[in-house]
Every structure is written in structure tokens, then in C-alpha cells.
Structure 1
Amino acid sequence: MKIINLSLILNFSIMTNKVYKIQKVIAEIIYLFLIFFFCYTAVNKLVKLDSFKNNLIKTTLFSKDLADVFSVVIIALEVFIILILMFCKKKGLLIFGFTMLIFTLYISLLRFKGLYEVCGCGGVLNGLKYQYHLLINVVLTIGSLYSFYIFNIIDDEK
């Protein structure tokens, strides 16, 4: 009887370890995708800076001068977050999630005020309708928080 219980405990431990390894691989893939995503959007905004500024001005929340400043600040923020993600994974994931939450609140405010036309993030995202933009932001936010949880909480338990 004790041998069977020990066998069940060992099997459960092995299964739990396999599940954890799979979770960690998924978290790592998400983590790498988040870095790629911000690199992609930052470079695209930088290459098409005038278009990005115009999208900010179209919202009517920003004057031309403020759009000039904010466009550079947003790109710099994205690059800064990329660096944090690369060198401080756990903090970077948390900051990424918080930033995506802020971006989500921003587009939701635009939508609420009737100022959201299409996504101005650039690249393949440019021109997205609100529903798709919101969905992408929510998925990215949840993905970053999931990865943070796996790398921070579960890693500490192991």
C-alpha cells in the first residue's frame, strides 16, 4: 500500500514538473514575443514619425506641439521598456503589462469620447478597428502578467 502511494506521489511530482516546464516554455515564448512586438511598433513609429504624430493630432487630445513631444516620449518609453524586458525580465514584464493597461485605457477613452478612428500604432496594426485593437491590448496585457506570474511566483516556489 505504501509503495503504491509513493508511486502516485512520484508520478504526480513528475507530471507537475512537466506541466511547469510547459508553462515556462509558454511564458518564455510570450516574453520574447512582447520584446519583438514593442521593437516592431517602436521602429515603425520612428520610421513613420509624421504619420504617428498626425494620428495623435487627429484625436484632438493633442495640439501639434504636444503631439511632437508625446510621439518622441512614447517611442522612447517603448525602447526603454524593451531594454528593461531584456535586462530585468520580471520587472520588465510587470512594466509592460502596466503600460499596455495604460494604452488600453487611452484607446478606450478615445472610443468613449467618439475620437477613436483607427489604430495608429503603425505597421500591420495600423488601421485596426477598436474591437481588434482592444483585443490585442488585452491579450498582450494578460500575456505579460501570465509570464510575470510564471517567472516570479512559480519560480520562487520551486
Structure 2
Amino acid sequence: MRSNKIAPIEIIRYLLILLYVYTCYHKIVDRDVFEQTLSKSKLIYNYKEILLYLIPLSEIIAIALLIPNKFIKGLYFSLFLMISFTIYLIAVNNFSLYDGCSCGGIFNSMPYWLHVSVNAFFILINIYAIIKYEDK
């Protein structure tokens, strides 16, 4: 008999999809804000035209990879994105004249420590999901 309980790995998958849908939506809908935020960072200013399209595209790819039943590639890609975004966030807030992020939505107004904590949470649950998926 099949259980109606949703496995923790499925909950994590849905949380990751929700995160990427939310942030990607805000980057696309608030494109001007996203572009202005990217322009403020001296670390990536020269690449902002590419990143303006590449970042939302990478989030759409993460969503697409997380949707199918065999979503291990999505978990690895998501982990890569979250680590990359977190490194960028730390670099921008510690080695640039500009403090902030270009994530969109409520993430733009979060204090730095909270945003890093949220990212760390998503990195940890992503790692947990990979380990659990590989153990299946």
C-alpha cells in the first residue's frame, strides 16, 4: 500500500522550485530594478548585460531540471547556483562599495546576515536532498 506522506526530498524539491520561481519572476518583472542592482556592483559591472539574461535563464533551467521525476541533475545544478549566489552575496557585501543583492522580491530588503542564513539553509537542504536521493 502506498503512503500519502510526502517524502522530505519532495518537500525540498518543491521549496527549491518555489525559490527559483519567486526570484526569477521578480528579476523578469522588475527588470529595471534588477539591472540597476547589477549596475551598482563593481565586481560584475562589466558583465551586467550578460548576467541580466543569464541569471534568470539559469533559474529557469534549475526549475526545469527539478520538475521531472528523476531530478538529481536539478539538485546538483541548484546546489551550484545556491553556492554561486552565496559567494557573490558575500563578495558584494564584503569586498565592494555596494551592499545588497539582486535576488529580487523580499530578498532585496533582507539584512545581509539573514540573506546569507537563508542561502545557507537552502544549500544545506539541497545537500541533504542529494544525499537522500543518492541513497535510494
Same fold judged by TM-score > 0.5? Answer: yes
Q: Is the 8 A contact 2:41 2:96 kept in 1?
A: no
Q: Report 1:1-158 matches (<5 A).
A: 25-63=7-45, 66-87=47-68, 88-153=70-135, 155=136
TM-score by length of 1: 0.76
Give the aligned residue type for 1:66: Y
CA offsets, 1:31-82, max 9 Å, x none? 111011101110110001111011111112233x631221111000110111
Identity %: 28
Kindly tell me: are residues 116 and 133 of structure 1, through their superposed partners in 2, closer, same or farther at Cα, counting changes over 3 Å?
farther
What secondary structure sits across from 1:61 in the alignment? coil
Give me the TM-score of the superposition, normalised by structure 2: 0.87
- Structure 1 Cα separation of the partners of residues 101 and 30 of structure 2: 14
Which whole-Å deviations, capped at 9, do the CAs of 1:107-145 have from their partners, x for residues lacking one?
111122143422321112222121111101110011111
Is the 1:59–1:110 Cα contact (8 Å) retained in structure 2?
Answer: yes
Root-mean-square deviation over aligned CA pairs: 2.1
How far apart are the structure 1 equivalents of 2:81 and 2:58? 9
Deviates more, 1:104-113 or 1:33-42: 104-113
Which is richer in helix? 1
Q: Which runs of 4+ in 1 moved over 2 A?
A: none
Instruction: Return the index of the structure with the highest Cα Rg.
Output: 1
Q: What stretches of structure 1 of length at least 5 have no aligned partner?
A: 1-21
In structure 2, how many angstroms separate the alpha carbons of the residues matched to 1:133 and 1:47? 21
